Structure 1
Amino acid sequence: MKTKILKFILPAFAIIMAVGLAFATDESNATQTGYYNHPILGVQSISTDCPDFGTVQCMEGPYQVFKDQNLTIPLYEPRE
């Protein structure tokens, strides 16, 4: 009787854990709106996954990407 319960409980527990851990993701990979200054079109918005910290600046083509429309807070390349 114990083995029948164990054979049912362990896989069910594993499935519950897998589903629960699937929702425990890192929010740093979430996309956010970034802005860059196009010389002809002005300030343009894009969807980016660049975080607020790092060492290499986030670029959209030849243009640096910023967090705000005033182009004062730079975004950086995501870490791998």
Structure 2
Amino acid sequence: MASLAVTMKGQITLRRDLLTHLGIKPGERIEFDKLPGGELRVKAARPTGTIDDFIGRHAGKARRPLTIEEMNEIAASGWAGEE
């Protein structure tokens, strides 16, 4: 079991191997669930969105038809919460 130090501000830093295990990349978020007995469950936050968010975000930006690769890249960045 890994142990982490808590700073005076109440912050912790997760080691890279823990982040890799969770599948977390820089800029992504982590969710915590409170469990009985003072335990926490840690998991990667998976953003949710709607097709309206996707369409509204990219409306009017393309002057030519997009390739399937470009569409996939846009979709992946939207689900990753990137602007």
Scaled to the shorter chain, the TM-score interval is: under 0.3
TM-score between both structures, scaled by the size of structure 1: 0.20
Task: Report the TM-score, using the length of structure 2 for normalisation.
Answer: 0.20
Which of 1 and 2 has higher RCO (CA within 8 Å, sep 6+)? 1
Which structure has the bigger radius of gyration? 1
